[in-house]
Structure 1
Amino acid sequence: MTFLAGRAWHRNPVQGWGRWRTASFPTGCALLVVALLPPLAPFAHGDFRGHMAQHMLIGMYAPLALVLGAPVTLLLRTLPAARARALTSVLHSRPARALAHPVTALVLSTGTLAVLYFTPLYNATMNQPVLHWLMHVHFLLAGSLFAWVIAGPDPAPARPGVPTRLVVLGIAVAAHALIAQLIYGGFLINVHAPIDQVQGGAQIMYYGGDIAELLLAAALVATWRPTRNRQHVAVASTAAG
């Protein structure tokens, strides 16, 4: 009886769970490990190029992989019904709706880059371990929020249509590129590092950000199911019946 119950528990929560989702979340965890452990972590602390590579992994690549694993959906499937309803209520609360708005996610993920690199904040994080780790946490959470709002398979409150999210993603691409170009040219930047490191870090940010945002755009387009197509299929099915 215990064996049968165990088999039923194992089958029901993950029914229909694809291999891509199963592989995506561990991939995101692995990217975080690479970013936070040697040899990259010591290199990132002493070289702006290493910092930028670490930022790309923590703030863009790892969040995308984690979000595409649909952890909230899996959690909702495995929680008891009462707790799942409570979590759903939180996801549909007013604070969650405000936080999950694409503009909010854009400001928290891309907008704060200007604050980090164009004010003394970056230099402070290099000298104070607490600020350094808070920066990592912010990169991870803000990147995960943006990836979830734009292309996450998990449910999101009041998520706008794909065209709107594509516009927001386009703004993020342009802002990210502009910040990288300003850093490369030495405009407005407040980073205490040799010029070759700053320019190398800007190039990593520019090209690494482009690749990550292309992957995010691909994930978004892959979820696009135009309403007109769905309505056409529904009408055709009704007529055939």
Structure 2
Amino acid sequence: MGSMPGMPGMEHDLPPFSFGRALAFHPSANWAFLVLSVVLLVLYAAGCVRLWRRGDKWPVGRPIAWVLGLVTMVLVTCTGVGQYGMVLLSAHMMQHMVLSMLTPILLLLGGPITLALRALRPAAKGSHGPRELLVALLHSRYVKVVSHPAFTIPLFIASLYGLYFTPIFDTLMKSEFGHFAMMVHFLAVGLVFFWPIMGVDPGPHRPGYVMRILELFVGMPFHAFFGVAIMMASGLMVGTFAHPPASLGVDPLSDQHLAGGLAWAFSEIPTAVVLIALTFQWAKSEERQSRRKDRAAERNGDQELEAYNAYLARLEQRSAG
């Protein structure tokens, strides 16, 4: 492969691949993702500070998950991984899997929509502010469509097979912008797919926990088979990585098999993380329902006792009369 458009001489600039070099911050970092990460971190921190100053509680695990999600996004877009991702399928697949499977899960566990709804002040009567616009968006037909399993599951599957098994991938990889567009797409697809399943934020589609688990297991087998198909392929699946720079000393078919292994592994690890998160959410939901039932039973018991006391009082009045 010659020099990539927009990246002249890359094949002479990259040293032999190692995880230490790949994870090092690089001067040619993807500044769009870096700026986005900083903005999201500042906005989330501002929301937390507003709640804490107000005396409201915000679970400490949520900001930790949010920060970890942003860190994973920066690691695969603003370090050497981004550079290697233009010439090695394994590095590109690492970006894909992290942005579509790991980063979204962590960001969703941060509960950014719930934080925004609690931190934003309601607008004056008769006007619409950011909070009202966010509520309207959550109840819009658009969000109902893009968060429905009939949309999210096919999109999740098509993002794998429709991209790597068609000429679309090689077309996008002809430029840095095409590669950047893929990274944005991977992140968006992951957020849309996992939000109805394990997101802690409110949404138009919130089925029971059994149905959420079923939704997860509908998509994951296709993901695992995708990884196995790449691992077992006897020829190169995409032409972009057919001729990696000689300085890397990488066999493209072996690198493709490694990429398939990464895709397969990421169908297992995030699934376990999501199942653990769902289990905790389910347990908390059952606990809240149990407390509500107990409070309702107490109120009913008090009402029955008051009615019985009133009945006794009436009997006593009749006897006295």
2:264 aligns with 206
2:281 aligns with 223
Structure 1 residues 225 and 189: CA distance shift in structure 2, 3 A = farther
1:87 aligns with 134
Structure 1 residues 235 and 165: CA distance shift in structure 2, 3 A = closer
Q: Kindly report which structure 2 residues correspond to 1:7-156, keeping only aligned pairs within 5 A, or say none.
A: 9=50, 11=52, 15-82=56-123, 83=129, 84-156=131-203
3-state secondary structure, aligned to 1:46: coil
| Cα contact 1:63–1:140 (8 A) shared by 2 | yes
Q: Which moves more between the two structures, 72-81 or 168-177?
A: 72-81
Structure 1 residues 20 and 227: CA distance shift in structure 2, 3 A = closer
Q: Which moves more between the two structures, 135-144 or 181-190?
A: 181-190
Instruction: Tell me which of 165, 175, 193 is aligned to 2:222.
Output: 175
| Cα contact 2:235–2:253 (8 A) shared by 1 | no
| Cα contact 1:117–1:189 (8 A) shared by 2 | no
Number of residues paired by the alignment?
234
Distance in 2 (alpha carbons) for counterparts of 1:44 and 1:76: 37
Q: Which moves more between the two structures, 88-97 or 227-236?
A: 227-236
3-state secondary structure, aligned to 1:183: helix
Residues 134-168 of structure 1 show CA distances to partners (whole Å, capped at 9, x for unaligned) of 11110011111112111000101132221111111
Residues 71-118 of structure 1 show CA distances to partners (whole Å, capped at 9, x for unaligned) of 111111222313312211111111111111123122222332101111
Structure 1 residues 9 and 217: CA distance shift in structure 2, 3 A = closer
Which structure 2 residue ranges, 5 or more long, are not aligned?
1-48, 124-128, 243-251, 302-321
Residues 23-82 of structure 1 show CA distances to partners (whole Å, capped at 9, x for unaligned) of 111111111110012221112111111111111111111111111111111111222313
Distance in 2 (alpha carbons) for counterparts of 1:156 and 1:43: 37
Q: Indicate the RMSD between aligned Cα atoms, in angstroms.
A: 2.4
Distance in 2 (alpha carbons) for counterparts of 1:57 and 1:212: 10
| Cα contact 2:89–2:255 (8 A) shared by 1 | yes
What percentage of aligned pairs have identical amino acids? 29
Mark the structure with the bigger radius of gyration.
Answer: 2
Which structure 1 residue ranges, 5 or more long, are not aligned?
1-7
**Under a length normalisation based on structure 1, what TM-score does the superposition of the two structures give?**
0.87
3-state secondary structure, aligned to 2:205: coil
3-state secondary structure, aligned to 2:186: helix
Looking at both structures, which has the greater relative contact order when contacts are Cα pairs under 8 Å and sequence separation is at least 6? 1
| Cα contact 2:51–2:58 (8 A) shared by 1 | no
